[in-house]
Structure 1
Amino acid sequence: MNEVADAMHGFAEWYGRRPIGAWSAPGRVNLIGEHTDYNDGFVFPFAIDQRTAVALGDRDDRVIRVASSFAAEPVQVHLDELTPDALEGWAAYPLGVAWALGEHGADLEHVRGVDLYITSSVPIGAGLSSSAAIESAVALALDEHWGLNLDRPTLAKVGQLAENRVVGAPTGIMDQSASLLGEADAGVFLDCRSLDADVIPLGFAAHGLSLLVVDTRVEHAHASGGYAARRASCEAGARALGVESLRDLRLDDLPRAQALLDDETFRRVRHVVTEDQRVLDTVRTLRERGPGAIGPFLDASHVSMRDDFEISVPELDLAVETAQANGAVGARMTGGGFGGSAIALIADELVPDLTRAIRSAFAERGYRDPSLFTVHPSQGARRDA
């Protein structure tokens, strides 16, 4: 799919004129580091080759209008009426970004409105952060068009604020950071407290490895209760243990945590603390021994999410178990949980056999046929036209 060409064509069809530019941003796969971002911890995602594109045209008034390939009607709002309460539905993502730019210092009283048209190849509801792809593409487009000159870490904060305040999903900053900072054949090792980011070569292709995504087609929604409940448990655990965030705990703090906390809260805390360590171990092992050696950390991450954080579902567990039984280096669910996708790192030549095995396993259980595809670490947000 040529998302940029589709966005420019869609813009011309909707608005009857050519856009003045087009920008795109990728979805992401989180290689490891789940639910650690809002705990000030470590994450290691990479940008993927499925992208969201936005075409932009100027207006001579102060209205922002947005249309897309996945919505029947455009939505518009006057800049003077741009508040979180005024935005809802799918348009809350792009319009929320415009509002959040104002919260990060942009003088929205002296800019003109724009027309936007959005198209995307990032699967919705698959745990690949289609929302952050929209936010990042729109943030980059508006930043350039309005001459705001915000750096990319700030644009990531803009996207996160839009998701938290406008959409109502209590997510961390990982997804937007991956979408904005990603590079080809590399992951983004991000410290979510300092926002220091280190781009680490992955070397999948050079080592004959593919990253297979198994979209279970069990849809999830981060604004729903499960994600918020996990975040609340983490915050309660940090308060009870007298730390600013769970980032401040180490593995040797876990016995004290177990003594002080109820069982459920302790298991939530244990997942975050051990997952932070797994991110550090993965990055170190990748640097020292290459991608073929990181499998045990991926496998352990899934067990922790399944048993301690309790965010997996039977379809995700089946995908992971089938991958592990069919030669995967490692496998885990990825994303916020309660549905979405699993990932498997596997030798290139084994991808067809694993694909067939997973489809067969799902059919035997009576599950919906999954969508399976490989992704490649790719460049982050950019101007394309």
Structure 2
Amino acid sequence: MTTPATASSLFASLTGHDPEGLWSAPGRVNLIGEHTDYNDGFVLPFAIPQRTVAAVGRRDDDRIRVVSTFADEPVEVALDGLDDLFPTPAGEEPRVPEWAAYPLGVAWALRGTGVVGSGLDIAIASDVPVGAGLSSSAAIEGATASALNDLWAAGLDRTALARIGRKAENDAVGAPTGIMDQMASMLGEPDAAIFLDCRSLDAVPVPVGILEAGLAVLVIDTRVAHAHSTGGYRERRASCELGARMLGAESLRDVSVDDLDRARDLLDDVTFRRVRHVVTENQRVLDTVRTLREQGARAIGDLLVASHASMRDDFEISVPELDTAVDAAIGAGAIGARMTGGGFGGAAIALIERDEEGAVTEAVRAAFASSGFTPPVVFTVIPSAGAHRDS
């Protein structure tokens, strides 16, 4: 069954009737710009074809009930009871199953802006791989926020809904992420990446021209699951905040490549390397945008490779499976490759000639097999549309 049909069927099984509507939001691939978002920096993600669908209908009481393909049992609470569940204290697990904290957190965050609405039934189905660094969480948030925006007549624009999703992620789930994922999921456009300034939230579509150039973006899901709410992500964010304070900057967005010599003298080695990654990654995003506009996608390969090396060596968020995926793809002729997402597992991407998909895929699978790793899941994506109502 397709994802919309699955969500509709799940809703009908829960309620005995059809939903009022279907809303969907995509996962995302980040072309470049990792761990720069919560440092007020620059990112360049694009929405992917894989989507999460929320089938939603209003109730005649004040309760909200969510069910999904992620779990066997629904979760139900009173709308007024959301304030007893959230926010989730730092370092603690949500008081509801994590999958349910995303849609319930969106409802809680939206109500926190003063929006009032009836109870709801929500059924969620998704084909965005979970734990692969493709923002399955932002897809849930985007689909839910879009539905509630309509059914509760909130009248919020896409950027405001992205903020709602980030608040759910940060304060309901307890994951200290930036806003890149939510903005990419809400604002995605076909054949374009979104050049996002995470300080101002100015977002500009940048044509990528992948199909026209005969290229493809290969996603290599290592099947090493990661979680943003765990300690490694928090530690990296804390290091970035420490580095900014010691350098007298509001955030690492305000530190330039020219400041790195001074930073090396002021910071301990680990903090310096964390800072160096963010500062140079911001510059790589700017260079990638310029290169795409002036020369096209074939010219960005070295920037992708340099980004991965920085995440591997300075930010230390790669894992052997990700390094193997990148090295194998490059060895098989990929134009460029890098891990994508928060790290500690997840997926890598490779920019390839479209007619080389089979050869690169086979090389990656062979490298995983020779290393004794779990076979990866490999597929191609193209820049796609953001969140919208399906029916």
Q: TM-score, normalised by structure 1?
A: 0.98
In structure 1, list runs of 5 or more residues that go unmatched: none
Is residue 223 of structure 2 the alignment partner of residue 217 of structure 1?
A: yes
Aligned-residue sequence identity (percent) comes to 65
Is residue 114 of structure 2 the alignment partner of residue 106 of structure 1?
A: yes
Per-residue Cα deviation, 1:340-380 (whole angstroms, up to 9, x for no partner): 00000000011101111111110001001000000111000
Q: CA deviation at 1:10?
A: 1.6
Question: Partners in 1 of 2:225 and 2:4 — Cα distance?
Answer: 26
Residue in 2 that maps onto 1:17: 17
> Could you say what secondary structure the match of 2:52 adopts?
strand
Q: CA deviation at 1:5?
A: 2.0
Per-residue Cα deviation, 1:249-303 (whole angstroms, up to 9, x for no partner): 1110000000000000000000000000000000000000000001110000000
Q: 1:106·1:148 contact (CA, 8 Å) conserved in 2? A: no
Q: CA deviation at 1:129?
A: 0.4
Q: CA deviation at 1:48?
A: 0.1
Which of 278, 288, 298 is the equivalent residue of 2:284?
Answer: 278
> Could you say what secondary structure the match of 1:319 adopts?
helix
Amino acid at match of 1:38: Y
Amino acid at match of 1:95: L
Per-residue Cα deviation, 1:172-226 (whole angstroms, up to 9, x for no partner): 0000000000001111100000000001111000000000000000111110000
Q: CA deviation at 1:4?
A: 1.5
Q: 1:215·1:371 contact (CA, 8 Å) conserved in 2? A: yes
Mapping of 1:83-232 within 5 angstroms? Answer: 83=83, 84=86, 85=88, 86-103=95-112, 105-108=113-116, 111-232=117-238
> Could you say what secondary structure the match of 1:294 adopts?
helix
Q: 1:305·1:312 contact (CA, 8 Å) conserved in 2? A: yes
Question: Partners in 2 of 1:89 and 1:225 — Cα distance?
Answer: 16
Q: 1:212·1:374 contact (CA, 8 Å) conserved in 2? A: yes
Question: Partners in 1 of 2:334 and 2:73 — Cα distance?
Answer: 44
Mapping of 1:352-363 within 5 angstroms? Answer: 352-363=358-369
Per-residue Cα deviation, 1:134-192 (whole angstroms, up to 9, x for no partner): 00000010011100001111111110010111101000000000000000111110000
Question: Partners in 2 of 1:369 and 1:322 — Cα distance?
Answer: 14
Question: Partners in 1 of 2:59 and 2:73 — Cα distance?
Answer: 19
Question: Partners in 2 of 1:169 and 1:89 — Cα distance?
Answer: 11
Q: 2:106·2:165 contact (CA, 8 Å) conserved in 1? A: yes
Residue in 1 that maps onto 2:77: 77
> Could you say what secondary structure the match of 1:368 adopts?
coil
Per-residue Cα deviation, 1:23-70 (whole angstroms, up to 9, x for no partner): 000000000000000000000000000000000111000000001122
Amino acid at match of 2:103: P
Residue in 2 that maps onto 1:53: 53
Amino acid at match of 1:34: E
Mapping of 1:285-364 within 5 angstroms? Answer: 285-364=291-370
Amino acid at match of 1:178: A
Q: 2:115·2:152 contact (CA, 8 Å) conserved in 1? A: no
Question: Partners in 2 of 1:270 and 1:45 — Cα distance?
Answer: 21
Q: CA deviation at 1:2?
A: 2.4
Amino acid at match of 1:140: S
Q: 1:214·1:341 contact (CA, 8 Å) conserved in 2? A: yes
Moved over 3 A (4+): 85-88
Q: TM-score, normalised by structure 2?
A: 0.97
> Could you say what secondary structure the match of 1:82 adopts?
helix
Question: Partners in 2 of 1:116 and 1:156 — Cα distance?
Answer: 19
> Could you say what secondary structure the match of 2:225 adopts?
coil
Is residue 377 of structure 2 the alignment partner of residue 368 of structure 1?
A: no
Question: Partners in 2 of 1:318 and 1:106 — Cα distance?
Answer: 49
Amino acid at match of 1:294: I
Question: Partners in 2 of 1:346 and 1:234 — Cα distance?
Answer: 33
Question: Partners in 1 of 2:184 and 2:317 — Cα distance?
Answer: 22
Q: CA deviation at 1:8?
A: 1.2
Q: 2:70·2:99 contact (CA, 8 Å) conserved in 1? A: no
Amino acid at match of 1:70: F
Residue in 1 that maps onto 2:254: 248
> Could you say what secondary structure the match of 1:242 adopts?
coil
Amino acid at match of 1:122: V
Q: 1:28·1:128 contact (CA, 8 Å) conserved in 2? A: yes
Question: Partners in 2 of 1:112 and 1:328 — Cα distance?
Answer: 51
Amino acid at match of 2:206: I
Between 1:356-365 and 1:1-10, the stretch displaced more is: 1-10
Q: CA deviation at 1:106?
A: 3.0
Residue in 1 that maps onto 2:91: none
Amino acid at match of 1:329: I
In structure 2, list runs of 5 or more residues that go unmatched: 89-94
Question: Partners in 2 of 1:347 and 1:260 — Cα distance?
Answer: 44
